[in-house]
Structures are given as C-alpha cells and as structure tokens.
Structure 1
Amino acid sequence: MQWLGRRESDNVEDNRGGGGGGGGRFALGGGIISIIALAIYYFTGVDTSQLLNQVASNGQVQTEQQARDPNASKDNASRFVGVILADTEDIWTKIFSDMGKTYEKPHLSLFRNYTESACGNASAATGPFYCPADSKVYIDLSFYDELKNRFGAGGDFAQAYVIAHEVGHHVQNLLGTSAKMDEARNRLSETAYNKLSVKLELQADFYAGVWAHYEQSMKKVLDAGDIEEALTAANAIGDDRLQKQATGHIEPDSFTHGTSAQRMYWFKKGYETGDINQGDTFGNGDLE
C-alpha cells in the first residue's frame, strides 16, 4: 500500500503513556487474543488470565524497547495509523454526503498495555475495539505483531483492514445500529444476542470492504496483493478457526464475530460493490 508521505489525521491521540475515561457501555470489535482466551475458558474451564497477563507483559517489553529508539517501527506504525484514519475520514465523508448525511469523524486512541475508555477498562490483550459511548477507536500497536507472528496475517493492508473494521463500527454508531444492538442486549438470551453480534461484526467487515473499494477508486494507493492481505486477516480471525486452534473443536452458538468464510465474504462484497446499501447483514428485521 502506498502510504508514505501522505496526510495524517489530526484525530489520533497518542496515549501510550497512560489512559483516561471510564464507564460501562459495551465495546465493539474485541481482539483476537481475548477471543481465544474466552474460548479456552468456555470449553475447558481453564483460567486464562495468566496467559493474557503474559501477552500484556511481552507487549510492555517490546514497546519499552521501541520507545528508546525514535526510529523504531512502532513510530512508523503510528504514522501509518494516522494515514489510514485520514483516508477513512475522506471516504466516509463522501459516502455520507452522498446519502445526505454528515459524517462525524471518530478519534483513535493509541495506548500501551492498558487503557480506560467510556466502555470500561481494556488491556493490550483485548485487541483493537471501538467504544460507541465516546466514539473512539482504541488500539495497542503490539496487536499487529500478534496478527503477523501468531496468525500469519502480516502486511500493511492487513493492518489497514483492522482499522477500517473498527471505523465500520463507528459508521454503525452514526447510523443508529449500535443503539439498536444496545437495546437488544437487554431483551435477548446470550445465544440470540451472539447471533446478532455476528451480524454486527460482519457488517463492519462489509464497511471495511466498502472503504477499500474507495481507497482504490478515489485514492489509487493499493498495490497488488493488498486485498489478499485483508482477506488473509479476515480468514485468520474467524470464530471457527480461532476456536478450533484453541480447543480442537467449535461451538457455533458461542460465535460473536462470524466464521472465516463469512468474514471474507462480506469484506469482499463490500470491496467489489462499494455500495453501502448492499451491507444489510441483519435482514428479516432483526433489529426492528
């Protein structure tokens, strides 16, 4: 992906020295490591808190080492995040304008090891997430190391996909989908709500694909293989694949993000159509 020297968003907050905020509304788009940990606990009863603490501890060692080197890749990564967020701002501003709406830009908070959001506390092990209560995307950049080294989903466009997915949750928030999910959470069983959560996450994947469509048609910055990088990442973080890796078997009723095939399908559909109106992953009035 061609990103060097391009505009960076002014809405990136570098909070790698600490966090702020607090609250109780649920966050969207929790990360890979936490999904695996929850799967292990769900199926085996094994307490995974030590694993999560070890991941966070490893992340602290890495970021402390990089902080001593101003030219470390972590700094390049933060600049990359700024460019991708700027592109989402340009693209979603256009899409919303075409719909006769105003796009309100989210902020993105970079944190290290631990943060507090309006949706509650989170660690590096939580992975990237979006909080509707403060309209912010949160990410510890050590997550990208996990994505590449543990799950074989490297590449700059795989990283861009992660950000675009979380911004997709912001789009859902602006369009009222998040509020409907909040209401559904209070009236549905866990199994029924999990099914809605899958549809919410797949729609965010679709929106990420729509963004990728305009990233090429408007910006013309994609390189050969970029879309494949995003699809590889979507495949790597499917619920079925993560559960199989963690426990040796899968339990569809516990899915919250969708299968690998579903995540790839909806991202690809968004990329190929570029039409936000074709992203109704819910259907059948599920949120009415």
Structure 2
Amino acid sequence: MQAAQVIPFNFGKVEVRTLIIDDQPWFVAKDVIYALDYARSSSPAKLIDHVPAQWKGVNQIHTLGGSQKLLMLSEQGLYFFIGRSDKPKALPFQMWLAGEVLPAIRKHGRYEDTSGKMDTLLNSTIGTDGFHCLAAVLDGKLRHLPTKARQRAKMHVWSQVHKAFSVVSAEDIPATQLDSARNFIAAYNVHEGEWLGKEPTINPTLNELDLAMLYVFCIDTLELVYVGEKLKPVFETLRAPLTMNVRKCLGECREAVAHLHERFGPQMEQAARRRKAFDGRLNLAAAGDHSQPIWTSGHAQDIRG
C-alpha cells in the first residue's frame, strides 16, 4: 500500500483513522478494535486473522510518534470483521459507518457528526437479531426440562430479564447491554424442581363452549399483539406514559396467550373446529415461541392503509 492522507473520525471517544487508497476507504485495524470495546491489550493481528488476505494489509501512517506501519482493513474487510464480532457496539458501528461516515467522506472528503446521529445509534436496541441471540442462550439452558416445564421456566426468565433491564420486551434492551443480558440469562439460577411440580387447580373443568370462546379470545388477543408490535415505532415516537403502558399490556397479553395455549391448546382448537370458530391464519404457538411467525404461511397481514 502507498502512503495516503489520513481522514480521522470519532466513534464515541475513539478516533478511527481512515485512508482513501485508489478511491477506496481503508481503516486502521486497531482503531476499529478499540472502538468496539475490545481490550487495549488485544492483538489486532490475532483478532483480524480470520479476515481474507485481500481485505487487509499494512500501510505507512504518519503519527505524533513518527511514521508507523499499521494493520489496515478495507471496507469489505471491515464489514467481514464486524459481522463476526459479538461486541454490542458492532451493529451500531456498522450502521453509522455505512449510513453516515462513508457517504460523507466520498462526497466531501471528511465527516462531521453535527446532528449527534452517532449517539442515537449507540443508544439503539438489540432488536430481533439480539432477541434471537438471547433466546438461543435460554433454549440451551433449559433444554433438559420437559416441554411444559421448559415453557413455564422460559416465561419466568423472560419476565426477570424485562425487570432487570427495565424493558417491556427483550428486543428493547439497549444494544450496548447485549453482553450483559446474555450473561444474565446464562447465570440465572433455574431450580428444576420449581418447574416440574403441578400448578394447583381450583376448577379445571371447561365445557366445549368455554374452550371455543377461550380459543377465540386467544386468537383476537394475538392479532392485537401483532398490530401492537408493528406500531412499536409509533409508540416510541410518542413516548407518552399511556403508549408505554399499552406496550407493557401487550407483552403481558402475549405471555397470557402462551400460557393458555400450553395449558389448553389442543382442547381449544378441537372445540373451536366443532363450533366452526377455528381460524387457521394465526399461529397460537408463536405467543410463547418468538421465533415462529404469528401469521401462518401466506396469511401475513399489512396494517398500512
């Protein structure tokens, strides 16, 4: 690589030096590593060892201490490295870089965060991808339990996660706390006997009409949950106490449907079919298993007018 002009920008408190070489951006590897909160003692060479050779290299950089040869990552190499990083800041960094920094550098030859967009991204949430990551940890932790006990334990642990991180949905956990949430779930002490015993029953007898009506209630509730989740960005924009309470209620409704489906699922569906109230468009199992779609194949609804 040839010497090139250094274009610095800051991610949080870390300066990331960028070079334009043959009209392509290259990044100082150790700056990227520090920006993602890897330990300062980490070896850049080891951390980027898995990056394909054509997407990394060495370049002479002028620093306060004189000229130094530093490891560099191309744009492709940077995305390759970030995509395999488990650091909470990896996704915000990639979004900010691709959406803000590189377009500005290509257009103006520099980047200035005049509107505070970096802070917005640093305060982003883990979203669906982060939720699936946490769900995988929880599934592994509880896989030894019988199905019904596992479902009850899951509902309890998710409830504790929501309380610990002050959110109504795990997807709302700040992106910078993904590692903390993962560690919280991994370390949570699940007492096996607590979930194996039978829940006390008061009057477990339900007739066919009761079960059919309970099924209709669950279907309608799950559809409302779906609409509420689609409107989440609107609720976040309003930031009113009432809308925050609506989101909390929808989360509790989903947990309630999950419990009722686990407890009476087959009986409810059977009664609903006999009473001609069955609705095959919605998947009640999705209430307790967030990895499943709420709408069955070919029936997904668009809430836009």
- Per the normalisation by structure 2, the TM-score is 0.22
- Per the normalisation by structure 1, the TM-score is 0.23
Point out which structure has higher relative CO (alpha carbons under 8 A, 6+ apart): 1
